[in-house]
Homo-oligomer: A and B are copies of this chain.
Amino acid sequence: MSGGPDSSGAISRRAFVGAAGLASAGLLATAYATPAAATAGDATDAGPAVVPFYATHQAGVATPTQDCLVFAAYDVTAPGRSALLALLRTWTDASARLCAGQLLAGDTYPGAPAPDTGEALGLGPAHLTVTAGFGPTLFDSRFGLADRRPAALADLPSFAGDALEPARSGGDLCIQACADDPQVAFHAVHDLTRLALGTATLRYLQLGFGRASSTSSQQVTPRNLMGFKDGTDNLTDEEPDLLERYVWVGSEGDQPWMRGGTYLVARRIRIHLEAWDRSTLDEQEQAVGRDKASGAPLGGTAEHDPVNLRAVGKDGLPVIPAGAHIRVAAPATNGGERILRRGFNFADGVDPVTGELDAGLFFICFQRDPRRQFVRIQTRLSEQDSMGRYLVHTSSGLFACPRGPVPGGSWGDALS
């Protein structure tokens, strides 16, 4: 929608108007008149901001992190595998159009609702990615998929300090929509939710902003709501070897359909900002292990200086304290394991009990096997991280994300 009146855009706008039986010449002319204004949305010298939807690996994982997140989890309510597969087919086709910046097409019988809810008309693709995943509960007895559940999709254990809210945890399916425009990301989830009517219902929805982890060396490292740079040593899209090693499922494992896929862990981490904000800068930097302004590891001078966990100060104590977040989370502390972080900040209002901000980090990470990656790292963090006293995990989700659909294929091909 950001470009000129190309053929796909023309088709989409015709479908939009035609769906209500209003395809008269005058109304079509009106619809066609839109692209002039539409170009203002995100036209750049570099062309439309489109991330390819059909690819070996799903987009939205190694894709440079966009500005905004809309994350949705669903419960499948229809019985049987055929309804589930039909939904995944519908979602795949719709997501391909959405990521290309096209309006959704649909049936045009009299009285049919418009096939697209319309609020993204004129905004352009805005680097939208739509990433789908299957939760552990999808592999219970309802859909005959029990023997397709990967061993790596093992329910996450309880961690010290967890305060999970069931209503915003779990889910049979997830959709992660990311874009540089929040309205474009919301529109995707809005329309996919509408298309699920009768098959799946929304379980929870989380908006995020401020991309609290960069996944590209071309991006400035963003800051979380604690004010610290987050994601300095993250995996990036420029490191395909490391992505193969830590993110994409290979030939190992019990389920061939997961080859080329990845596992998504989502944790809504509320930050007790009031307590954090009252601590001193020194306390904060000791808890994180980094300088707040520059992001340099303690003992270093620049953000990307190597983290020296063995350095000892004049007082004989480690320069990076025993409980510092970057020490406890470091690959060297966790058998060399790494994860791809792709979290976003959130602010959902006021805690009705304490009157404090209900805000924090919606942590998302991707990995090849959560058992030896997220679970291993989080077990240690939950016990030793000095930042932990300011954090509480209020939701948890785990999803198996299959490989990217082939053109004309479906996310459900992995399960059919």
Contact = CB atoms under 8 A, between A and B. Distances in A.
Interface of A: 13, 16-17, 19-22, 26-27, 29-31, 33-34, 37, 40-41, 68, 70, 111-114, 116-122, 167-168, 181-183, 186, 190, 193-194, 197, 201-207, 209-210, 220-228, 273-274, 277-282, 284, 291-294, 296, 301-302, 345, 347-350, 352, 355-357, 359
B291 A27 contact: yes
Nearest to A296: B30
Contact of A20 (B27, B117, B121, B281): B281
A119 B223 contact: yes
A206 B345 CA distance: 15
A347 B225 contact: no
A118 B209 contact: no
B293 A121 contact: yes
A251 to B, nearest CB: 39
Contact of A205 (B34, B277, B350): B350
A390 to B, nearest CB: 13
Contacts of A291: 27, 30
Given A121-B227, A190-B357, A352-B167, A281 B220 contact: no
Q: State how many copies of this chain the complex holds.
A: 2
Contacts of A278: 113
A288 to B, nearest CB: 11
A22 B277 contact: no
Contact of A282 (B20, B193, B277): B20
Contacts of A225: 117, 119, 186, 190
The 7 A-B residue pairs whose C-beta atoms are closest, nearest first, are A118-B227, A20-B281, A182-B209, A183-B210, A30-B294, A31-B293, A114-B281
Given A119-B226, A197-B274, 20 more contacts: A16-B292, A29-B301, A30-B296, A30-B302, A40-B220, A70-B347, A118-B226, A118-B228, A119-B210, A119-B223, A119-B225, A182-B182, A186-B225, A190-B225, A190-B357, A202-B355, A202-B357, A205-B350, A206-B349, A348-B349
Nearest to A72: B350
Which residue, A31, A292, A357, has most C-beta atoms of chain B within 10 A?
Answer: A292
A119 B205 contact: no
5 contacts: A40-B220, A190-B225, A197-B274, A202-B355, A203-B350
B209 A183 contact: yes
Given A190-B225, A205-B357, A292 B34 contact: no
Contacts of A186: 209-210, 225, 345, 347, 359
Contact of A119 (B68, B116, B220, B224): B224
Nearest to A228: B118
A29 B117 CA distance: 52
Contacts of A20: 280-282
